[in-house]
Structure 1
Amino acid sequence: MAIFRLLLFPFSLIYGIIVWLRNKFYDWNWFNSTSFKLPLIVIGNLEVGGVGKTPLTEYIIRLLKSDFKMATLSRGYGRKTKGFRLVEANQDASLNGDEPQQLKNKFPEITVAVCEDRVLGVEKLKETHELIVLDDAYQHRALKAEMNLLLFDYHRLKHLKLLLPAGNYRESFAGKSRARIIIITKCPIDLSEIEKRNIKESFSLASYQKIFFSSLAYSKQLRRIATGEGLALEEIATGTPILLLTGIARPALLRKEVEKYSTHIIHHNYPDHHHFSRKNMLKLVADFKKCGKGAFIITTEKDAVRLKSQADKELLAQLPIYEWPIEVVFKHDELTFKEEIIRYVKAVK
């Protein structure tokens, strides 16, 4: 794989030149960038793959939804529809994408919309909302936002920052300069102050930028997707067979968490946003039956949204499939982060 990526390096150079020119054309105002007179919070990343954008979006929603009429807007990756759509609770994930559907199911009181053209999407929402949170729109420079939150996975900070296709970066590391806030996600709970300082120094922040460190907190209860019934993790006996079903970008952290509760894990691992087929489900059923009495299945909230869209709901209803909710927690400086967000929203509003 490493050799294959090395062969792709010339294409990365071409891609990098194209991206650099595109960004410069926006910087020089040769390309039009539209601004709006309402708060826009953009959540994004430079590297492809899961860095925790959706959990952070949920955090922002919880922070602001009681005080502001808010909406979220995203592309709706993997959906079979096109154009602007308002997401309704409990719709088929293929209509809107798994992450927007997850947000609407969890927060039915807010507006969740999808649109490939973020400018058009904001135009549709601006008259009836006080602020809009845009998921995965950092590279969408046709839209001008003052509050860009840029996320980096703690576990990948030391990886080579190569551009696509030889690497995983959408644009060069220098693209971090457009961010007002940088968040290092998935940090270990015991991250030391010395390491935090070293990471901060490695980013060479500008005077207008701030950096924060966050972790993922796993719920103490699993939730059965068919009934909503809870299962306390403390009730799981050591050695209980657990089938782990994932269709996310980087499941290693989740698997490590599951290993705290069982040494007997069968991992059905699929690509990010994978639409589970009947063949996939039949394999899951077969492995579940082999495990015998007491076994159950754990999946993510994002995967659960796609599972609920399965045509063969009767098959799934018979299986004890539990989703594992997660939340973002900040290390020590949560109040400062909240103040930064609220201050920006009130200033623009």
Structure 2
Amino acid sequence: MKLLRWILFPISALYGGLMSFRNHLYNIGKKPQVEFDRTVISVGNLSMGGTGKTPMVEYLIRLLQKDYRLATLSRGYGRKTRGYRMASETDTAETMGDEPYQYYRKFGTNISVCVGEERVIAIPSALMEKEDIEVFLLDDAYQHRKVARDFNILLSDFNHPFYEDYILPTGELRESRSGAKRADCVIITKSPETIDEQERREIKVNVKVYLGEKPVFFSRIIYDEPKPVFKEQLGELIKGSTVLLLTAIADNKMFKTEVERNYSIKQEFVFQDHHGFTAKDLDGLLTYLQTQKEEIKIVTTEKDMVRLLTLAEHPLFKKTTAFYIPIRFELEEEEKFTSRLFKVLEQKKNLN
């Protein structure tokens, strides 16, 4: 691995230099940022993915939806449409992307869910449809600097912190570690239930090398009870059941570990992140299940679930029941975090 890193290092150095120069142009104002009169909150990371952006956005929605008219704005990665789009009843994961459609299924009656590659165009487009939007939640927008933001949240995986990583392709960072200084806070995600205080202090010290004196928070993922993918498929997933694991996310290790705690995994079907499931994919699962004598249920993630919905009529779901496991974001020192966030929201409101 060390040899490969040395081989790839010149490419990483070139890419890192280009990203640093781009950021420098924004920092000195040579590349302009557009500031909007609505509050803009960004959730992102320095790495390629898998840090928990989706549950963080959902956490913010639950926190703010009673007091503010919200809109989420994502690029809509993996969708089959292009340009700006606001979710409606006719949309699916194919037209919106899996994460935005997940937001719409959960919160669509209370918030606006939008996608658009160019966020600087998507925000005024959304306001033309719903001028009463007060807060935009930008999903995976840390490197998208055309839009000025009022609160910049940087996520970093507890098991793979940015300060131990390297720039692409040597590592998984989209830009250098110094990019963390643009954040208003860093949230360490996927933390274990208990963290040794010495380890906690070491993590904070390592983050603050790049972040300065801005706060560092710790969070964890909470798994809820499994639910059927299709409402028509009644029943429950009994602990100890034999299951087939179906995932297409950036890193399924944590999810797999959680499933293994409660069920017996007979087989895994793993696809690349954001994979759009097809009938042919499900044919493979069906063929496997037909060779098994015991009853085997399917277990998948919530993000993968939304991409299965258009395949409800596939014979696989006559053969067995598919379940997904919802997740929630639990934040330590929540009062300290919310106090900072609501202060920003109030300051923006007073400016307008």
Q: TM-score range by the shorter chain?
A: over 0.9
Q: Which runs of structure 2 are paired with 1:221-300 in the superposition (5 Å)?
A: 221-227=225-231, 235-236=238-239, 238=240, 240-300=241-301
Compute the displacement of 1:263 (Å): 3.5
Matched, 1:152 2:156: yes
Matched, 1:71 2:71: yes
Compute the displacement of 1:91 (Å): 2.3
- Residue 144 (structure 2) aligns with: 140
Matched, 1:218 2:223: yes
Mapped partners of 2:163, 2:286: distance in 1: 37
Does structure 1 retain, via aligned residues, the 8 Å contact 2:55–2:328? yes
Compute the displacement of 1:288 (Å): 2.4
Compute the displacement of 1:335 (Å): 1.7
Matched, 1:128 2:132: yes
Does structure 1 retain, via aligned residues, the 8 Å contact 2:46–2:173? yes
Q: Which runs of structure 2 are paired with 1:75-224 in the superposition (5 Å)?
A: 75-89=75-89, 91-109=91-109, 110-126=111-127, 127-157=131-161, 160-204=164-208, 206=211, 209-219=214-224, 221-224=225-228
Alpha-carbon displacement from aligned partner over 1:90-129 (angstroms, at most 9, x marks no partner)? 6221111110011001112210000111111112234330
Counterparts in 2 of 1:201 and 1:285: CA distance versus 1, 3 Å: same
Q: Which ranges in structure 2 are unaligned for 5 or more consecutive residues?
A: none
Mapped partners of 2:132, 2:338: distance in 1: 24
**How many percent identity over aligned positions?**
36
- Residue 56 (structure 2) aligns with: 56
Q: Give structure 1 regions of 4+ aligned residues with deviation exceeding 4 angstroms.
A: 1-5, 205-208, 228-233
Does structure 2 retain, via aligned residues, the 8 Å contact 1:180–1:208? no
Compute the displacement of 1:344 (Å): 1.5
Counterparts in 2 of 1:112 and 1:232: CA distance versus 1, 3 Å: same
Mapped partners of 1:173, 1:275: distance in 2: 32
Compute the displacement of 1:184 (Å): 0.3
Counterparts in 2 of 1:277 and 1:125: CA distance versus 1, 3 Å: closer
Q: Does the residue aligned with 1:253 lie in a helix, a strand or coil?
A: helix
The aligned length equals 343
Counterparts in 2 of 1:48 and 1:32: CA distance versus 1, 3 Å: same
Does structure 2 retain, via aligned residues, the 8 Å contact 1:161–1:172? no
Alpha-carbon displacement from aligned partner over 1:179-208 (angstroms, at most 9, x marks no partner)? 001000000001122221111011126556
Counterparts in 2 of 1:231 and 1:337: CA distance versus 1, 3 Å: farther
Alpha-carbon displacement from aligned partner over 1:157-186 (angstroms, at most 9, x marks no partner)? 288421112221000010000000100000
Does structure 2 retain, via aligned residues, the 8 Å contact 1:215–1:328? yes
Alpha-carbon displacement from aligned partner over 1:75-95 (angstroms, at most 9, x marks no partner)? 000111111100124622111
Q: Which ranges in structure 1 are unaligned for 5 or more consecutive residues?
A: none
Mapped partners of 1:84, 1:322: distance in 2: 32
Mapped partners of 1:62, 1:200: distance in 2: 27
The amino acid that maps onto 2:214 is: Q
- Residue 324 (structure 2) aligns with: 323
- Residue 309 (structure 2) aligns with: 308
The amino acid that maps onto 1:194 is: Q
The amino acid that maps onto 2:95 is: L
TM-score (norm 2): 0.92
Compute the displacement of 1:316 (Å): 4.4
Q: Does the residue aligned with 2:137 lie in a helix, a strand or coil?
A: strand
Does structure 2 retain, via aligned residues, the 8 Å contact 1:118–1:143? yes
Does structure 2 retain, via aligned residues, the 8 Å contact 1:223–1:230? no
